[in-house]
């Protein structure tokens, strides 16, 4: 069974995180939600989430995918955490799936994962990163990197991630049950 690690910091966009968690679990993917620190974390809109574990504990395990929700100041917290930067770099080097939505693609850009790649993000989040071909589609896939624009594209993003991990048939089954 495939597994995914979802990172969550104080100020992360809860709509993006919970949508991905929900869709992947519906599709049979084992999901671990890791907080940057222990205990409950408050999302960008005030919703409190209790992650499954801490990032330090999660780093002892292997994952098929890592997902970074956006939101502010959550993206700033992810971007300034050396453990996060090292994790996404190692996952990319291993050819694993690395996904980010909203402002979080900027975390990938900081470590050079988007150099020469196509990506999308919340408008303006990749300004200043000249080596990225920024597109305005809801979801952009380039190799093992998957990016998305923001809360309004979270469902499309989550379904794309499910397809990457569990295949087109599983995506279609889950999507049909959602009555879209």
pLDDT at position 31: 98
Q: Decide if 121 is catalytic.
A: no
Pairing mode of beta strands 41-42, 145-148: unpaired
Tell me, yes or no, if the pTM score tops 0.85: yes
Decide: 102 and 148 in contact? Cβ < 8 Å.
Answer: yes
Decide: 105 and 126 in contact? Cβ < 8 Å.
Answer: yes
Tokens of 97: 């799936």
Residue-range domains of the chain with CATH = 3-172 (3.40.50.880)
| Active-site choice (36, 102, 146, 174) | 102
pLDDT at position 126: 97
Give 10-residue mean pLDDT values along the chain (180 residues): 97 98 98 97 96 98 98 98 98 98 98 98 96 97 98 98 98 93
With CA atoms as reference, report the closest residue to 51 among 18, 83, 97: 18
pLDDT at position 179: 86
């Amino acid at each position: 069974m495939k597994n995914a690690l979802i990172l969550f910091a104080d100020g992360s966009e809860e709509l993006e995180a919970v949508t991905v968690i929900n869709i992947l679990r519906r599709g049979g993917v084992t999901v671990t939600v890791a907080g940057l620190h222990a205990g409950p974390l408050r999302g960008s809109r005030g919703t409190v989430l209790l992650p499954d574990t801490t990032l330090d504990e999660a780093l002892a395990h292997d994952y098929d995918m890592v997902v970074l929700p956006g939101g502010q100041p959550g993206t700033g917290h992810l971007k300034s955490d050396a453990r996060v930067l090292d994790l996404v770099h190692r996952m990319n080097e291993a050819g694993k799936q690395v996904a980010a939505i909203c402002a979080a693609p900027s975390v990938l850009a900081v470590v050079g994962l988007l150099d020469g790649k196509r990506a999308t993000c919340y408008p303006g989040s990749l300004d200043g990163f000249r080596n990225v071909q920024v597109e305005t589609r809801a979801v952009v896939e380039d190799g093992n990197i998957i990016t998305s624009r923001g809360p309004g594209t979270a469902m499309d993003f989550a379904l794309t991630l499910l397809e990457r991990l569990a295949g087109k048939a599983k995506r279609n089954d889950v999507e049909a049950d959602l009555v879209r």
